[in-house]
Amino acid sequence: MGSDDTPAPGAATRESATRARTRRAILDAAVSVLTADHSASLGDVAEAAGVGRTTVHRYFPERSDLLAAIGTDVRDRVAAASERARLDEGPAPEAMERLCLEYFELGDRMLLLYDVPQFVAWSGIEEESAADLALLALVRRGQQDGTLDPEVDVSWLQDVMWALLYAAWIQARDQGTPKHTALSLCLRTLRKAVAP
């Protein structure tokens, strides 16, 4: 590593395949380590990723850079999940279930984002993402056509969905419930909870 780490100082340089792989390994390891302990050290992350602590610093100069990268990563995955769910198609409750299914796959990452507010702060995730807006529109649509409970606030319905997903993850993690079972419990309960 004789000289310069950032090959093209000012431009958006494409990463080599090797670097991309290492980068992803660090990111994934960070998610799983930080999920277990929010204040884990960068040394722990490096060890879990199977790389040297120096290498972690090479990719993410400061701790906050790593956290921000995790935040951005999750943001992208959420956006992709939201699109795959095609929230504007079909009956609202079913669209909501499709969304749950997609979000459920994100697993650990969402838990992390939820209770470490710094990820959001560092990575420039704004209050209202496209995914949030799409869900908001979905709920409004469902309330208007009478398929969703019209008496509760939109943000509450949204919180309930997150809470039930959270419960399903916990159920799978702590009780050893198979993931598909936990998910189906989640969907069943959500269906009743959001019904008019």
Partner DNA sequence: CCTTTCTGGAACAGAGATGTTCCATTGTGG
Partner DNA sequence: CCACAATGGAACATCTCTGTTCCAGAAAGG
Contacts to DNA by CB under 7 A:
1-3, 7, 15-19, 22, 41-43, 50-55, 57-59, 61-64
Q: Are 168 and 188 in contact (CB under 8 A)?
A: no
The DSSP annotation for 44-110 comes to: HHHHHHTS-HHHHHHHSSSHHHHHHHHHHHHHHHHHHHHHHTTTTSS-HHHHHHHHHHHHHHHTHHH
Which residue from 43, 115, 124, 150 is in contact with a second copy, where contact means CB under 8 A? 115
Can residue 147 be called a binding residue for a second copy (CB under 8 A)? no
Considering CB under 8 A, how many residues would be counted as binding a second copy?
Answer: 25
Question: Which of DNA, a second copy, none has residue 102 at its interface (CB below 5 to 8 Å by kind)?
Answer: none
How far does Cα 79 stand from its chain's mean position? 9
Can residue 133 be called a binding residue for a second copy (CB under 8 A)? no
Question: Which of DNA, a second copy, none has residue 63 at its interface (CB below 5 to 8 Å by kind)?
Answer: DNA
CB of 161 to a second copy, least distance (A): 9
Q: Which window, 5-13, 52-60, 79-87, 166-174, contacts a second copy (CB under 8 A)? A: 166-174
Q: Are 172 and 107 in contact (CB under 8 A)?
A: no
